Amino acid sequence: MTGEANSVPEQWRPLFGELQEIPAPAEPPSPIRNENLDTETLDALRTGAPLIDRFVLLTEDIFRLQPIHGPETPFPDHAPLAQIARLRMALIKLAWNDGDPDKALRLARQNLDLARAMLKAQEGIIPVIASVGVWQTALDGAYWLSRQPTLTPEQAAALQTRLAEDNHLAARALTRAFEGEYTFVQKVVVDRLPITNDPELVLDSIGSLGMAPPSAPPEGHPRLPVGERPPLDPEATLALSKARAFDYTEALTAEPLRHPRHIWSEQHHPAQRQLADELGAFLVYATADLPPTPEQIAAASDVLASVENPAGKLYVLIATPHWDAVSETVFRRQAQSNALQVLLAWRRLGRTADIATLLETGLLAAAPADPFGDGALRVDPERARVWSVGPDGVDQGGQGDGENLGRPDDLAWPAVPAVF
């Protein structure tokens, strides 16, 4: 088959309903331990394995997620794709524990392939977050395999080679996500906002992100007066919104291995505070829960009369995505992918070692970057662990068991000393 016949996940959709018949484990799959699955769940996983095998990306497949057009775009494929990844991780453990390591490794590669395909196809904030969830599951499966005592050097090498193909995946995914979010969400919303001298209509439209016809407050209710000029300049608003997104894409192009945390702290946060100060009483009016007082209406009207593009600036202030948080989320997974390559290099060497030794022996092609630090990931051969300094950029010794739930001090991936 060629062309549209190989469009994925479109050709998988008729099978998604059958996924519901496979009971997922009650707990999210752990990267460091086996789940205690009851006999019924184990039997269901074994029975459902042939179905999961049908969700395999082939070389000729074209992976396309549903196009985005505005914030109301549905994403029906995300949940089934995440479920496939979780079920496949459970099957990785099942196959390994059943004595079929080749199948376990094949399933791990399939999860990594699915994550990469999703990250390369997505074009927005919601899709990239959903895709990162699949990447996390795929990486957890690889981490679990790296901790198994019977993993051979050849198996470790194959898995390490596959992970090395994704060394720039975070930057590429974020660039696509941020450009898509501006083009298919931010731009669409701003284009929908009404050009009118009535600020109440513009505020109502901003509140619905342009998804509903705007309406003014009922007659007799307190409101802003109709002005002498439109409070919205779409062109200026789009320029401001685009700059927010493209500050990140430019930084990612210049330094694709690092999370550009400086953009928020040095540029966007001060800029947002400046917008808030400039909008002043108009911002208070637009975001208040209680009916406005006459004094508040008068103060907000003064802002509307004196500030250029006040409604556009308000939109950028309250509706712009928190790009930094999204970037941090994606680069956390990049850090794990980089760390796993060190753990697998250790398995190939048969012992822990520092980065210099791994480079000298050819087990690493380059020192694995810490996306949150200035250099490479931290490594402690004596404690058999690899870690990233994490989003705060402060090295706190790499404590942790490898789960990295929430916001730990560092992002740590310990090996199992007994395997060396």
> What 3-state DSSP class applies to 29?
coil
Is residue 21 situated within a structural domain?
yes
pLDDT in tens, 29-39: 899 999 888 88
**Per-residue pLDDT at 5 exceeds 80:** no
Of 2-16, 147-161, 398-412, the least confident? 2-16
For residues 115 and 131, what is the distance between their CA atoms, to the nearest angstrom? Answer: 6
360 touches 392 (CB < 8 A): no
> What 3-state DSSP class applies to 385?
strand
Query: So what's the pLDDT on residue 244?
Result: 95
Is residue 412 situated within a structural domain?
no
At CB < 8 A and 24+ separation, what contacts does 246-253 make?
A: 246/178, 246/179, 246/182, 248/174, 248/178, 248/323, 248/327, 249/174, 249/175, 249/178, 249/179, 252/171, 252/174, 252/175, 253/171, 253/175
How much of the chain exceeds pLDDT 90, in percent?
92
Is residue 144 situated within a structural domain?
yes
pLDDT in tens, 88-114: 999 999 999 999 999 999 999 999 999
Is residue 135 situated within a structural domain?
yes
58 touches 66 (CB < 8 A): no
How much of the chain exceeds pLDDT 70, in percent?
99
Is residue 300 situated within a structural domain?
no
Is residue 341 situated within a structural domain?
no
User: pTM of the predicted model, to two decimals?
Assistant: 0.95
Confidence of residue 127 (pLDDT cuts 50, 70, 90): very high
Domain count, the chain: 1
Is residue 313 situated within a structural domain?
no
Residue type, 356: A
| Preceding amide of 291 cis, omega within 30 | no
For residue 393, give Cα distances in angstroms to 36, 355, 389, 401, 409: 36, 20, 5, 20, 9
Q: What is the mean pLDDT of the chain?
A: 95
For residues 37 and 339, what is the distance between their CA atoms, to the nearest angstrom? Answer: 29
**Range 177-188 average pLDDT:** 97
pLDDT in tens, 52-68: 999 999 988 999 998 99
Is residue 121 situated within a structural domain?
yes
**Per-residue pLDDT at 70 exceeds 90:** yes
Query: So what's the pLDDT on residue 3?
Result: 41
Place of tokens 């184990």: 42
**Range 217-237 average pLDDT:** 97
Please give the span between the terminal C-alpha atoms of the chain, in angstroms, as a whole number. Answer: 47
Query: So what's the pLDDT on residue 418?
Result: 81
pLDDT in tens, 321-379: 999 999 999 999 999 999 999 999 999 999 999 999 999 999 999 999 999 999 999 99
For residues 72 and 86, what is the distance between their CA atoms, to the nearest angstrom? Answer: 27
Residue 119's domain comprises: 1-151
For residues 194 and 199, what is the distance between their CA atoms, to the nearest angstrom? Answer: 10
